[in-house]
Amino acid sequence: MDILYTAEALATGDGRNGHVATSDGQLNADVRVPKEMGGAGGALNPELLFASGYAACFHSALLSVARIQKVALHDTSVGARVGIGSNGQGGFGLAVELEVVIPDLPHDQAQALADAAHQVCPYSNATRGNIEVTVSVVED
């Protein structure tokens, strides 16, 4: 693979109750276990960061696919929900739900664009076969 960019981050402290910072200084934040998992909450957590990254990356892939297919889009958005839970084998696993909003396109055409984006998005390619990811087109 021809690497175009490399992101660097360092986690310190007590894992999910610690601190994360990127080498470029763009992110410098405490992380906490969410209340739903028995922690204090009130700060970022890995699932929030992953959901944010996946939503932004998938949205970019969607817009790219639309440009290639010469489909004009406006006011689109992508929401990501990242769930964490027991994998039933003593560890934990993730599940992702992507909700794609594409106004003014028939649902079938919008879903086809979302499905095409799912084939090219780097996050989708990295998770394919590893975690459950659902992609749904929803009304705004």
Taking only the tens place, the pLDDT of each residue in 83-128 is: 999 999 999 999 999 999 999 999 999 999 999 999 999 999 999 9
pTM of the prediction? 0.95
- Residue 46 half-sphere exposure toward CB, CA atoms < 13 A: 13
Q: Give the domain ranges of the chain.
A: 1-44, 46-137
Structure confidence at residue 140 as a pLDDT band (50, 70, 90) = confident
Listed in sequence order, the residues at least 6 apart from 15 whose beta carbon sits closer than 8 Å to its beta carbon are none
3-state class (DSSP) for residue 25: coil
**pLDDT tens profile 38-72:** 999 999 999 999 999 999 999 999 999 999 999 99
Distance CA 121, CA 65 (A): 10
Listed in sequence order, the residues at least 6 apart from 7 whose beta carbon sits closer than 8 Å to its beta carbon are 22
Query: With b meaning 16 or more CB within 10 Å and e meaning fewer, what string describes 82-110?
Result: bebeeeeeeeeebebebbbbbeebeeeeb
Give me the residues paired with residue 22 across strands: 9
Q: Does domain 1-44 have CATH number 3.10.250.10?
A: no
DSSP 31: B
Would you state the CATH architecture of domain 46-137?
2-Layer Sandwich (3.30)
